[in-house]
Structure 1
Amino acid sequence: MLENAQFPDEQLYDRMGIQVTSWDPDRVVGTMPVKGNRQPYGLLHGGANAVLAETLGSIAAGLHAMPERVAVGLELSCTHHRAARDGVVTGVCVPLHRGRSTATYEIVVTDENGNRTCTARLTCLLRERPPGG
């Protein structure tokens, strides 16, 4: 899984149970359990979809930006199409635009039956890597 040497026990994707199953600049895939990520009505929380989408999109943008630049989130938009109540959802992230200063990705989240539950779009700003970063 992903690692952060400075804050190894404070990663949101760990708390959400996100598992990145494949990554390359053209397609990043990850899963997230519904259990533990529900809102009070027993449905997958919309914010959990947003966390999954931003995680996958940020990884893709980072792969595009490396090694001389870093990616930071600029805008995230999520449309929730249907509820997920249990099981695991899967997000698939593909690029829509990859430029020098911005990169935009579409992330489609589906339930275990292949039903689209959420469509997200993430735009990241690509910045020069800070000295020593």
Structure 2
Amino acid sequence: MSFDKYAMLQLCNNWSKNTLMNTLEIEYIDAGEDFLTAKMPVNPRVHQPMGLLHGGATVALAESVGSAASFLFINPERQEVRGIEISANHLKSKREGTVFCTAKIIHKGPSIHLWEIKITDEEGKLISLCKLTNMILSRRK
């Protein structure tokens, strides 16, 4: 089975409807056989009280992209993805514009996926560096 970038992006964007991803205006924009990328606008919707991108919104973006990325490697009819641990280092602040989030696989086991997730600004400068561990479960009938 060959990888279909456009089908993956459509699937991720369709699944985001009426969810936190939709509320945060996360849009999946690129995919490959070992990565997934999304973008999110930085505006008052995702600000903390000082007018900066909220770390929680950043982590929500990272977990959303990393969890969706695990679908690259599973059969969603037989398996489910559960995020079990995420860590984030926020390195730079941002007040407005857009952030881009790319999850790249570090470890792809049968039951555990480990992702490195970089959140950058429009110039490619690193905003946050995250690590996400997903557990792959058999779908319950």
TM-score normalised to structure 1 length: 0.90
SS of 1:30's equivalent in the other structure is: strand
**Alignment RMSD (CA, Å):** 1.5
* 1:22-61 correspondence to structure 2 within 5 Å: 22-35=30-43, 36-61=45-70
| Structure 1 residues 42 and 119, CA gap change in structure 2 (3 angstroms) | same
Percent identical: 33
Q: Residue by residue, what CA displacement relative to the aligned partner does 1:8-58 show, whole Å, maximum 9, x if unpaired?
A: 53x000000100002344110000011021100111000111011001100
Give distance in 2, aligned partners of 1:52 and 1:42. Answer: 18
Q: 1:49 to 1:8 in 2, by over 3 A?
A: closer
Indicate yes or no: 2:133 matched with 1:127. no
Q: What is the DSSP-based 3-state SS (H/G/I as helix, E as strand, rest coil) of the residue aligned with 1:92?
A: strand
Q: Which residue of 1 aligns with 2:6?
A: none
* Aligned twin of 1:3: 14
CA distance in 2, matches of 1:93, 1:50: 12
Structure 1 position 112, deviation (Å): 1.4
| In structure 1, C-alpha distance between the alignment counterparts of 2:72 and 2:134, rounded to whole Å | 12
Q: How does 1:49-128 map to 2 (within 5 A)?
A: 49-67=58-76, 68-128=78-138
Residue identity matched to 2:132? L
Q: Distance in 2 between matches of 1:127 and 1:23?
A: 23
| Greater per-residue helix proportion | 2
Cα drift, residue 124 of structure 1: 0.4
**Runs of 5+ unmatched residues, structure 2:** 1-9
Taking the aligned partners of 1:102 and 1:17, their CA distance within structure 2 comes to 28
Q: Tell me which stretches of 4 or more aligned residues in structure 1 moved more than 2 Å.
A: 1-4
- Aligned pair count reads 128
- What is the rounded CA distance, in whole Å, between the counterparts of 2:32 and 2:75 in structure 1? 12
What amino acid does structure 1 have at the position aligned with 2:98? V
Q: What is the TM-score with the length of structure 2 in the denominator?
A: 0.85
